[in-house]
Amino acid sequence: MLPQDIRDALRGLYPDSVLDNTQLEVTVPRLTGFMVFTLIAPQKWLAIGSAPSPGLIRIHPSYYAPKTATGLALIGHELCHQVQWRTVPNFLAAYTAEEERNIAGHPPWSNRFEAECYASEQRAATLLRQRGYPSRQALALPFCMCQGSPFR
C-alpha cells in the first residue's frame, strides 16, 4: 500500500480505489514496462518511474521525494497509469500500439496515454505547490518509453 502521507497528499487527484490498492516500491525501475525517463547527461537516460503491472509502481530512490510537489507528482504520473490499467480495455496492447506509432516517426506526445499522464503530473504538481508543498527541480520529461524502445 502507499504510505499514508502520500495517499493523503494525492487524495482527490486520483481515485481512492487506486490510492488504496497500489503498492509502491522505491527501487531502480527495471527496463521493461511503462517508464518515465529523465536525461541526466547528453544522450544518457535514466528510468525514474514505472507502472509495470496493475497495482504496482516503482520510483527510483534518487527521485523518490514524497515531501515535494514534483516528487508527489511523479508518483501521480504512475498512479495515472494505474487508472489506465484498470479502465482501458486491453491496456498493454493499446499502449504498445501507441508506442509503435511513435517509433514510426510521430512525436512522443502522440502517445495519448503518456500525454494524459504527463498532464495529470503537471496538474498535480501545480495543485500541490498551491497547497504549500515545496517544489523540487523538475526532472521528469514529458514522455515515457516502453518495451521495444531504443532505451531498453
Contacts with Zn ion, residue ranges (CB under 5 A): 114, 117, 144
- Count of CA atoms in the C-beta half-sphere (13 A) of 3: 11
Q: In terms of CB distance, is 72 or 130 closer to Zn ion? A: 72
Name the residue number minimizing CB distance to Zn ion: 144
> Alpha-carbon distance 62 to 120, whole Å?
22
Distances (CA, A) of 89 to 32, 85, 92, 93, 95: 20, 8, 9, 9, 10
Q: In terms of CB distance, is 106 or 134 closer to Zn ion? A: 106
Minimum gap (Å) between residue 107 Cβ and Zn ion: 15
Minimum gap (Å) between residue 3 Cβ and Zn ion: 21
Minimum gap (Å) between residue 26 Cβ and Zn ion: 17
Q: In terms of CB distance, is 99 or 114 closer to Zn ion? A: 114
